[in-house]
Structure 1
Amino acid sequence: MTTHVHTTEHAAEQAPRGNWGQNSPEIYKAVLALEIAAKKGLDPSLVELVKIRASQLNHCAFCLDMHTKDAIAAGESVERIVLLGAWEESRHFYTEKELAAIELTEAVTVLTDGFVPDEVFEKAAKHFEEKELTQLIAVIATINVWNRFGVTYRMAPGHYTAGMYGK
């Protein structure tokens, strides 16, 4: 029988490459303004699921740390967050509306696979009014912007407290 030995020795954090928000506050404020407008009136739990899924796809550890903590603080279940990376095999944990949003998130986030397929867009359009759909796409676009800054500037996960930025 093999036993697992738990160690508290961790690898060193990568050094950040600067602070883009301090260096260009006008850009940071513009992205934040878009995010605030985009999520206004949308279900906060759905917004966090979308942010988590896009951050998984983009490998943004900082945003994953932030949005999983915010989602849990807002009452989202750990089980649904953990299974989000395998949502296609665990569809029964999500509503049809959430599934449509998650699928649209993947299509918009991974544009290198081609255009957003008509059936993905149409599925989302069945669950969201036109304004909400535009807002959802803006939420997806905005988290992709945050992810790209987070990954590029090596923003380190593990230092965020839920609600810290009040977004």
Structure 2
Amino acid sequence: MTTSHAHHHAPAALAPEHPPRISVSRLLPDVYKALVRLDTAAREGLDPVLVELVKIRASQLNHCAFCLDMHSKDALAAGESVERIVQLSAWRESRHFYTAKELAALALTEAVTVLTDGFVPDEVYAEAEKHFEETELARLIASISVINSWNRFGVTGRLGPGHYTPGDHKG
């Protein structure tokens, strides 16, 4: 049995599933630039790979294909492995791929991102407090909040994946 695939996907050759709707960056450049500055300030001092894992996981939960494309590529460019990126959607079943600190960050990311499930559970917050000093934890919470904002712009505006190159954007 062969495992080769006959299909090759070339994003640039594909028409978008849905046409883009609105460009916040074009219409409200001050808002866009403020969010970029907030993102930069939030992640200062955090491990860049951990930040990308958090951004990928939140983007998975929010179904933001544009941000998934961007942050998966940024994670790879920062030295992250394909295996760990692929396993993120099932991190609870793939805990051995991640450090205790990363697991705490992923649990917090899910709790902050999916607020419809209720408040951020005390045990999730307490676990994060064990692995992050206070300022670092505040930065992590800010980074989670910022990626959720980016996701909402991306999903609402129907930004299409497949055209991002690492270094193109710092959001």
TM-score (norm 1): 0.94
Output the aligned Cα RMSD. 1.8
Shift of 1:6: 2.3
- Structure 2 stretches lacking a partner, 5+ long: none
Task: For residues 105-159 of structure 1, give each alpha carbon's deviation from its aligned partner in whole angstroms, at most 9, with x where no partner exists.
Answer: 0000000000000000000001001000000000000000000000000000001
Deviation at 1:5, TM superposition (A): 4.4
Partner Cα distance (2:166, 2:40) in 1: 17
SS in 2 for 1:28: helix
Q: What percent identity do the matched residue pairs reach? A: 68
| In 1, Cα distance between equivalents of 2:141 and 2:56 | 15
Contact 2:36 2:170 in 1 (8 A): no
What corresponds to 1:92 in structure 2?
96
Residue by residue, what CA displacement relative to the aligned partner does 1:53-81 show, whole Å, maximum 9, x if unpaired?
00000000000000000000110000000
User: Residues of 2 paired with 1:148 and 1:139: CA distance?
Assistant: 14
Distance 1:38 1:166 in 2: 12
- CA shift, 1:26, in A, is 1.3
Number of aligned residue pairs: give it: 167
Q: What's 2:130 paired with? A: 126
Measured after TM superposition, the shift of residue 12 of structure 1 is 2.6
Would you identify which runs of 4 or more consecutive aligned residues in structure 1 move more than 3 Å? 1-5, 7-11
Q: Could you tell me which runs of 5 or more consecutive residues in structure 1 were left unpaired when the two chains were aligned.
A: none
AA aligned to 1:107 is A
1:36 and 2:40 equivalent? Answer: yes
Task: Report how far residue 8 of structure 1 moved.
Answer: 5.6
| 1:12 paired residue number | 15
Asked if 1 retains the 8 angstrom alpha-carbon contact of 2:59 and 2:148, the reply is yes
2:85 aligned with 1:81, yes or no? yes
Structure 1 SS opposite 2:127: helix
**1:29 offset after TM fit, Å?**
1.3
**TM-score w.r.t. structure 2 length?**
0.92
Letter in 2 for 1:131: T
- Matched to 2:52, the amino acid is E
